[in-house]
Structure formats: C-alpha cells, structure tokens
Amino acid sequence: MLFAYLLSLLDRTQAAIHRASLTCWILLLSTFILLGLWIIWWLYRFVLLPRVRPHDPPTLPYLVPCTSNIDIGHMGGFFQDSHRLMARGVKHFSNTRQPFSIVILGKIYYVIASPIDATDFYSNTTTLSWDGFLNHTLHAFGVSPKRLEALWSRPEKATVLNPQRKCLIHLTQDLYKQHLLPGPTYSGLIDKYRRSLQDLSSWDKLSSRHGKEATARGNVFSLYDLCAQVMIDATQLSLFDPILFAIDPTMTDNMRTFTDQLWKLLYNSVLLDAREINSLREKYTRAFSIYQRLPKEMRKNEAWIVTALIDQYKEQGIHEDDSAAMLVMVYWTGDANAYKLAFWIMSYILFDPDLYTALVAETSPAISDNGDINMPYLAENCPLLRSVYSEALRLRKRDLAFRQVETDTHIGGKVLRGGNLALVPMCQLHDDRSVFGEDASIFDATRFKRETGFQNCTSYKPYGGGKTYCPGRFFAMQEIFAFVAVMLNRYGIQKEQGCQRFPKPDESSLTLGVSRPLPGEDLQVHLTNPQVVGICPEKSVADVCV
C-alpha cells in the first residue's frame, strides 16, 4: 500500500514538474519572440527608416511601439520635462540642430531647434499654418468642430468694421492689432488699466483681499497670489465691464487652474483626467454666454475691441456657444501670461537688494505721492526695468510654438510631411550660449541693457514672430512695469524670514506661455503699510525705515 502510494506521489510530482517546466518554456519562448519582434521594430523604425527616407526628420528613439492614438511615444519625458527632452533630442542628433521628430499620444511632432529654421517657421504662412493649429485651439476652448467653418467663411456684405469682408478669424486678428498696437484705442486701454491698478493696489484693498497676517506695521502676502489676483483683476477691468465680476465672482481665482490645466484640452487624450478643466471651461463659457447677451448699456465700460467682437459675432450669426467660447479665449489670452512674469520679476528683485535699490531709484519719479502712475515715464525712461523684463522673459518664456504642417514643407534640409504638427521649443533658442554667452542659464539683470541688439536677434522670440507676432506685447510690458513700480515704490516689500529659496519653475510642457512656479514654490512677502510708517524708496529691501 505504502509503496503504491509513494509511486503515485512520485508520478504526480514528476507531472507537476513537467507542467511547471513547460510553462517556464512557454514564458521564455514568448519573451524571446516579443524581444525579437521589438528588436526588429526598433531597427526598422530607428535605423532602417532614416536610411530609406533620408529627407524625413529622423525620429528620436523611444521604447514602447504602438500605432493607435494612445501611442505613448515620448509622452513621459514630454510631460515631465519637455526642455530636457528637447535638449536630449538635439544632443542625440549630434547637435546639428536639423529638424527631428518626436511622437506623443500617437501624433508626430517635428522639432525645429535652430534659430534660422525658427525664423522660417514663423515666416512660412502658407504650408505651416497657424490657422490649422488655431482650429485645434478653438476646439479645445469649446467651439464645435462642426461649426468651425462659419468662422472661416467670408460674409456676403461689407460693413464699416469689415470693409474687406474678411472671415471672422482674420477680422479678429486685425481688430487685435488695431486695438493693441500703440494708437488712440490702445491709449484708452492703458488708461483703464492704470486706473484699475491704482485702485486695486491701495493698501486697504490689498490688505483686506490678499493679506494673510496683519501686524501694526504691515501684512504678509503670498507673492504669487498677489501678482495673480491684482493683475488678472486689473486686466479684466481694462477689457470687460465690471458687471462680469457680478456674473461670476470666481473668474480671477479660477484663472490659474484654468491656465495650468489647459494643456489637457489641447493634448486631448483618454489617458488624461480633464474633469476639472472641463468644468472650469463650462463655467467660463456660461459667464460669457450671459455677458454677451446683456444690452450694450449694461456693458458700457468694456474695451472697444470687446464691443466690436460681440457685434461681429451677432452680425455674422455665430452660434452663441461658439461666440462665448471665443470670448473665453479673448479673456484667457489677455490674462494668462502677465501675472506669472510679474511674479518672476518680483522674485529676481527680492533676491537682489542692489537691483531693488537701483530699480526704486529708476522708477520712483513715475509714482506720485497720491499713488498716480505715470505710464509713459515707465515705458520710456526705465532701461534697467526694461532689461530685467526682457531677461525674465528669456528665462521664463520657454514653451512651445506650434504650427500645422498643411503640405510637405522643406525646412532646415528636411521635409516635414503634411498632416503632422511642427513645433519650436523656445528653451532651445533662449538658452543659446553662442548668442547669450556661457552664463546663458543665469539671470543677469543688465544683459539686455548692455546688449540692446538681443531684443531683435533670431534666438530671442518670447512673442513669437511673423504674422501672429503678439499684438499684446506693448500692453503686457506696460502693465507689468506699472505693477512692479507700484510694489517697489508704494510699499516696502521684503521676503519673509525663513523663506529664502528662489522659487523653482515648472520645466514641464504643462504651463502654456510663461512658466509657472512649481506648485508650492511661492514666496511669502511682507508689505509695509505706508500709512503707518514712511517708506524710504532709496533704501535697500532690508532697510524699511520706521
């Protein structure tokens, strides 16, 4: 009995070992087959194809092959640190700076990393189209793709505002230029901004709305909150009637989250959680739906361009949802960058007491005792402030400029194939050591003052170029100059004790436009109440006099 039992046990054990080793073999074989297939794919994709098609921009190798619209490609590196991915690409292709391609979520993006090619990128308005990319953006803001055609079709009748019967998109671009480039309507806009800023930056308003820890001498603020809330409010009041605040009082507070997460709508994919940005977009669209329906008498304090746009939307029979989505875009375009740049400029100043003192000396004639701001003085007589502004833009405007490749396009000795997207990584231009010197990665307050030619060199493109060269650049500069001058001259501002580290920027591709500080990388600052103590502007940051 015992012997028979032992024999059957031995049989079972042998069978189990046999099954286990069979499974191991199958696993091993599958692994080898998969590895073999992967090696064949990799050699085909990154070794053979570049030889067969030498004129196509080569693809920066990636690990996971896939062909559907969830092809991950370089997604990880792109969303974690797009600047590093671009630098890796340039280095991988031996620093030739010829166009190369990356793959993100199933789409091919051609990377244009040389300053000369970037200039061609901006000046080519026929086969590299902003319009194609704009459609993509309009859709992200909520314009129905089915109705996009209405925005591109020319109206039948000419009007006073649109004598050449331009389509709504091209007319909007013209109106922006007319309104935002120096001229009568621009002066009106700047004046509205000046008055709003003057009011919003009074001690009582600042302290009650943004203050965190009032003392007898002053109050503590988050620098990022201060820049965002004051500047977004002031810009909103310059463009729209104050009734917009009544329609949705949370618009300003939501702007940062909206800007920070907008990339999710642009890169639209099932892999991204876009619930929060979708609900914010709906909220903004609702607010603008209500706003545009108001009679003109109730919107009489809005900027000329807003009235002109709403009139045109109505005249051309644009669907209300689409015109509201376009107004959200107008609101976002005006607000999205300046507050972040003001934050970086203030941070650079607060970390350099000599710069603080020099800027107070330069800007103080523009701020009178009653708080009035002399905008032309700041624009024309403050070369150091202008240099600090340009340098901060160089180091913090590092995002990507996109174009839709409409048909095959020759650029930098390569052929970009129609149907894909092309991009210029601004970081590759703005970090150019051959132009800005070996210390290109370091903030130098006087770099642009010493070398005024940097403003127009091919490696400096914070405002883009060509036909879509930012028409808001004058307004942005003046609004930031005024904000900085008010902060430095109306109040004694200094870093709170114990928060000495310079804030780190978000180096991913997540922020559109000027980089945001990484979450949590803020500065706590102390502002001295000028009604309690006299401020000596000539003194350094640490020497607020009692």
Nearer residue to ligand HEM within complex by CB, 281 or 430: 430
**Judged by CB under 6 A, how many residues of this single chain contact ligand HEM?**
22
* Footprint of ligand HEM on 144-173 (CB under 6 A): 173
Residue 100, Ramachandran bin (φ over 0: left; ψ between -120 and 50: alpha; else beta): beta
Is 411 a binding residue for ligand HEM by CB under 6 A? The answer is no
Check if the beta carbon of residue 269 is closer than 8 Å to that of residue 69: yes
Least distance to ligand HEM, CB of residue 334, Å: 4
Annotate each residue in 498-527 with x if it binds ligand HEM (CB under 6 A) or - if it does not, as one string: ---------------xx-------------
DSSP 366: G
For residue 409, the cross-strand partners are 416
Annotate each residue in 414-453 with x if it binds ligand HEM (CB under 6 A) or - if it does not, as one string: ----------------------------------------
The encoded tokens of residue 19 equal 């099954």
Check if the beta carbon of residue 256 is closer than 8 Å to that of residue 228: yes
Check if the beta carbon of residue 330 is closer than 8 Å to that of residue 291: no
Is 269 a binding residue for ligand HEM by CB under 6 A? The answer is no
Nearer residue to ligand HEM within complex by CB, 425 or 513: 513
Is 196 a binding residue for ligand HEM by CB under 6 A? The answer is no
- The residue whose two tokens read 């048909």 is 407
Identified binder of ligand HEM from the candidate list 58, 464, 505, 517, rule CB under 6 A: 464
Round to whole Å and give the CA distance between 355 and 337.
23
Is 471 a binding residue for ligand HEM by CB under 6 A? The answer is yes
The encoded tokens of residue 501 equal 């580290």
Using CA atoms, how far residue 371 sits from 120, 193, 197, 201, 295, in Å, is 46, 14, 10, 9, 35
Is 382 labelled a binding residue?
no
Is 341 a binding residue for ligand HEM by CB under 6 A? The answer is yes
* Angle between helix 203-210 and helix 223-239 axes, rounded to 10 deg: 120
Is 119 a binding residue for ligand HEM by CB under 6 A? The answer is no
Check if the beta carbon of residue 141 is closer than 8 Å to that of residue 133: no
Least distance to ligand HEM, CB of residue 399, Å: 8
Is 397 a binding residue for ligand HEM by CB under 6 A? The answer is yes
Is 334 a binding residue for ligand HEM by CB under 6 A? The answer is yes
Residue among 523, 418, 436 nearest 126 (CA): 418
Pure H helices in 115-183: 115-123, 130-141, 148-152, 168-180
**Span of 19-27, 91-99, 240-248, 468-476 interacting with ligand HEM by CB under 6 A:** 468-476
Identified binder of ligand HEM from the candidate list 115, 462, 503, 517, rule CB under 6 A: 462
**Positions at the binding site for heme:** 470
**Positions at the binding site:** 470
> Which residues of this protein are in contact with ligand HEM, per CB under 6 A?
130, 173, 176, 180, 333-334, 337-338, 341, 397, 401, 462-464, 468, 470-472, 475-476, 513-514
